[in-house]
Amino acid sequence: MQRLAKKWQRAGTRIGLVPTMGYLHAGHLSLVQRARQAIGQRGVVVVSIYVNPTQFGPQEDFSRYPRDLKRDLKLCRDAGVDVVFTPGDGEMYPRWGEAPDEPAREDARPTSGFSTYVVEEKLSQGMEGAARPTHFRGVTTVVAKLFNLIQPEVAMFGQKDFQQAAIIKRMVADLNFPVRIVVAPTRREPDGLAMSSRNKYLVGDLRRQATILWCAIQMARATVKKSRTFPAVKLTAAVKKLVACEPDARLDYVEFFEPDTLAPVAEVRRGTQMALAVFVGRTRLVDNAQL
């Protein structure tokens, strides 16, 4: 991949990257479209597909995360993607002294021979960082690796993972990666549910209950519209109560904060960013919006 990227760069070919964990949906495909717009018809759009083990906690859904490479490749081809990069664990997290294609020992974790990480220390403290302590370390590390491998001029991320996008922008600025980060709006289902590969887990009534995240955002928006400013603690309590109306939903957190700094606010007003995580059955969903 790196050799190819260097060849493209020598030829003056512009590179746009859409990093994904696969099981692609319309949200990913809109990022592909934006990447194409950004680099033009003569540039190359690369989609990376890699379910990154280091961003999953030990009790999380790494092993059951949805995967369907054949379907993803067809979607990429139809969307005009030039290259799909699908590395294996042995290439991304080399086990020292072993060939990359050598099968791992049964008991070995995919990352057992890897010991260098990229860590953002401020923006990753709250929300997803507090709920999933090693998550962002895994994200920044794998994204830094993808930037080094693919050397894109522009890389696209979805706004659904608002905190992730903020952290990646900070990492790029702090470490001088020569890449422009574009954050594209969240794509939603007709009933407001944010598109996500994990929506596949939502079967039967859980799919209906999952719209509670969007309902909570709408409620917060209506409150701000009516009251101009509103205490964050009161709005937090209202969201908690609303989520509790669904039998299988449990609020993990809701936060109201400044979109640029991610600093929590005491008073919610127009322009405040809201983010929440909710378990619907065993599935943990996240969403966010500017109020």
Question: Which residues have a catalytic role annotated?
Answer: 28
- 157 to 186: interface string for ligand PAF, x by CB under 6 A: ----x--x----------------------
Span near ligand PAF by CB under 6 A; candidates 19-27, 97-105, 225-233, 238-246:
19-27
Say whether residue 143 binds ligand PAF (CB under 6 A): yes
In the complex, least distance from residue 238 CB atom to ligand PAF, rounded to whole angstroms: 29
Per the document, the length of the chain is 291
Nearer to ligand PAF by Cβ, of 142 and 216: the residue is: 142
Among 29, 44, 92, 139, binds ligand PAF (CB under 6 A): 139
In the complex, least distance from residue 19 CB atom to ligand PAF, rounded to whole angstroms: 4
Nearest one of 2, 134, 116, 160 to 56, comparing CA atoms: 134
Q: Which amino acid is at 177?
A: F
Say which residues have a Cβ less than 8 Å from residue 121's Cβ, sequence separation at least 6. none
**Element at 171 (helix H, strand E):** helix 162-175
Among 21, 243, 274, 286, binds ligand PAF (CB under 6 A): 21
The two three-digit tokens of residue 2, written as one number:
């790196």
* Subset of residues 24 to 43 that bind ligand PAF, contact rule: CB under 6 A: none
Nearer to ligand PAF by Cβ, of 19 and 43: the residue is: 19
Say whether residue 150 binds ligand PAF (CB under 6 A): no
Determine contact, residues 245/228, Cβ cutoff 8 Å: no
Burial class (CB in 10 A: 0-12, 13-18, 19+), 70: exposed
> Using alpha carbons only, what angle is made at residue 57 by residues 60 and 2, rounded to the nearest 5 degrees?
110
Say whether residue 155 binds ligand PAF (CB under 6 A): no
In the complex, least distance from residue 161 CB atom to ligand PAF, rounded to whole angstroms: 5
Determine contact, residues 65/51, Cβ cutoff 8 Å: yes
Distances (CA, A) of 291 to 58, 126, 226: 34, 19, 12
Nearer to ligand PAF by Cβ, of 27 and 236: the residue is: 27
The residue whose two tokens read 């957190």 is 253
What radius of gyration, in Å, describes the C-alpha atoms of the chain? 20
* Subset of residues 45 to 64 that bind ligand PAF, contact rule: CB under 6 A: 52, 55
Say whether residue 255 binds ligand PAF (CB under 6 A): no
In the complex, least distance from residue 22 CB atom to ligand PAF, rounded to whole angstroms: 9
Determine contact, residues 214/281, Cβ cutoff 8 Å: no
Residue 84, SS3 per DSSP: strand
Say whether residue 156 binds ligand PAF (CB under 6 A): no
Span near ligand PAF by CB under 6 A; candidates 14-22, 172-180, 208-216, 263-271:
14-22
Contact residues: ligand PAF, CB under 6 A: 19-21, 52, 55, 139, 142-143, 161, 164
